[in-house]
Structure 1
């Protein structure tokens, strides 16, 4: 399961089926539309899937998380492992979520392929902090422009070279931009809440309309992770470029990208690296179960430092880290190579076989 994608035809499905394992896939209630995606509501969707599997007699259930599906899975496991009274009661934007009322079966294990640290945490490394006016996609602070040669950018495909001082300043500015958008989102929600209160007291239809008109947040320029153009930063086997293309200096200004259009609630729950609770590093300590983490060595979203931090964050003694050559979406590193999804499927089957043997193998 993934918070924003339909995994019905996921590349790992045939790999696991061909090795004798049943596979359940599902989407969140929003499907492929993440404009209003709340991770807390997605947990309820995931819980329904787990209940279905238990009700249909599956003895062992192991969650599979690819990319952003990993942080969703650990958030679910963290909440499912708590007693109902200890679960989250509200999303970051204030909406009540009835996790305490939900049946949330805990899986027996977790397998992850190319897990990144969470939607919000990833975006906070990709967001362009040189934007000075959120209503103007071309507004730029030249001192923070990642694609300005004066700051270390080199003409593609040559790798850029950013000074440590610039990287530190850049990361701080990224957090500051996320904080500003958070503040804007909370102001929009507060305006709607105030109107809702007035309507309950005075009954003015206009207040009721205002309470529903929270608006949407447009967020420009989110393809600006320095690691995608400076291959010396947290190096691995990745090629030049980002998840969105070979020229982040161009795609950064296009319409494709993470978090470009969201409701204030969805921004806070999913895309804010400061407010979202769906951070793998935050939820991993509450996920006490056997874990398989498959790192794809040419990943452009899950980097070696992230892998080290994630592996160390899980409390269970049975945490296995496997490195597989490949790229984030399961492709081989080079044309003609073995797809990473096949190699990952082999690793998953071996890991499962050791811990949850087939009935015939017992």
Structure 2
């Protein structure tokens, strides 16, 4: 791919307003929801923009977006309101944040076409948003409360790309949560027969089908136990007249997916005993583990296998715009089986699945630049073929060929 465009990062803010009693994030001023964004672009004009957002964190510095900007694409990388932490995160609110970003891109910045690009956890966000924009179904939050999302007029994207994505936060966590934990208040009380990091456990990889089935059932059971406790706790608060109160808690041991230690499970090109966060045994107890800190509403909306509402597989049938699903061949975060299910579920008549061989989740490492080049080239070709490219992108593509 030719890299001819010098690009700039232009920081800006997007402000939308919600009149609510409870504030979920630190620093919220009055009824303003302030989103930090960057416009990543060269000097070339364009009326087409790629919009990226992740439920937590700011995605602007993922290297793929610099690659795409050098090719001439315009990109808006926008953080959600939960950029300081996902303990209180409700996906219904993140959908509203994404809607505010798309509205701003069209009405204030003047872009005519918007392509949604969901990386990693941004995949289920983009799919959920597009599904709600095309055929809305959400009426209440996952905790059963009113949400401004019900009845919101979301502007649909013109195309969607799910890149190195998992199907949802709740399915990802359920596949990773450690089912050996018997007591949420004392995580050292464990069922040794389900502790995959116990060297004395007779069950060792490669795991039998019976053990894998038992393990998976125990993971789902643990998720459901926490979810029902969260619902009961919230109901108790409301019964006391404390309908706006919250309760925060810790979920211990959340990096114990069988596939981390047994590469024959959901096989791809990843290396064994390793994850995108490092050694899975250490991450299992680390503060950086997925879903470690939660509020009641945050758990139900993000992590509950029964009550969370945004999942790319469930959202897919309501999506009709052109869609691409790109997987990293050695992804050490997102399960390959999620990619297949997401692609099959997409209702788009025009859809394509692409694999970047040997790329890990972040397209990093010795061959990281090669993998980034391949991903950016594949994305650019897909966009060009569907009319989502400006003159500079087209010129670069001609030069590269």
Tell whether the structures are fold-level matches, with TM greater than 0.5.
yes
Secondary structure (helix, strand or coil) at the match of 1:217 reads strand
Q: Does 1:47 align with 2:99?
A: yes
Partner SS, residue 54 of structure 2: coil
1:251-262 equivalences in 2 (<5 Å): 251-262=283-294
- Decide whether the 8 Å contact of 2:72 with 2:390 is kept in 1: no
The alignment yields a C-alpha RMSD, in angstroms, of 1.7
Residue in 2 aligned with 1:111?
161
Give TM-score, length-normalised by structure 2: 0.80
TM normalised by structure 1 equals 0.89
Match of 2:371 in 1: 340
More helix by share: 1
* Residue correspondence of structure 1 range 84-123 to structure 2 within 5 A: 86-123=136-173
Find the counterpart in structure 1 of residue 203 from structure 2.
152
Give 3-state SS (helix, strand or coil) of 1:166's partner: helix
Return the offset for 1:212. Answer: 4.5
Contact 1:137 1:253 in 2 (8 A): no
Alignment partner, residue 283 of structure 1 = 315
Question: 2:232 — aligned with what?
Answer: 187
SS at match of 1:63: strand
Cα distance, 1:123–1:286 mapped onto 2, change above 3 Å = same
What is the number of residues matched between the two proteins?
A: 337
Residues 1:236 and 2:289 are matched in the alignment:
no
Corresponding residue for residue 209 of structure 2? 164
- Of structures 1 and 2, the one with the larger relative CO (CA 8 A, separation 6+) is 1
| 1:320 CA displacement | 0.7
Displacement after TM superposition at 1:101 (Å): 4.3
Contact 2:328/2:355 (<8 A) preserved: yes
- The answer for unaligned runs of 5 or more in structure 2 is 1-52, 396-401
Residue in 2 that maps onto 1:59 = 112
- The answer to whether the Cα contact below 8 Å between 2:301 and 2:307 also exists between their aligned partners in 1 is yes
- Contact preservation (8 Å) 1:223, 1:242: no
Does the Cα contact within 8 Å between 2:73 and 2:390 map onto a contact in 1? no
1:169, 1:273 → 2: CA distance?
A: 17
Q: Does 1:26 align with 2:67?
A: no
- Mark the runs of 5 or more structure 1 residues left unpaired by the alignment: 154-159, 197-209
- The worse-fitting range, judged by mean Cα deviation, of 144-153 and 180-189 is 144-153
Provide the residue aligned with 1:305 in structure 2: 337
Change (3 A) 1:151 1:345: farther
Pair 1:211–1:352, CA change in 2 (3 A): same
Q: Could you say if the C-alpha distance between residues 236 and 118 of structure 1 is closer, same or farther in structure 2, counting changes exceeding 3 Å? A: same
Q: Secondary structure, in 3 states, of the residue corresponding to 1:320? A: strand
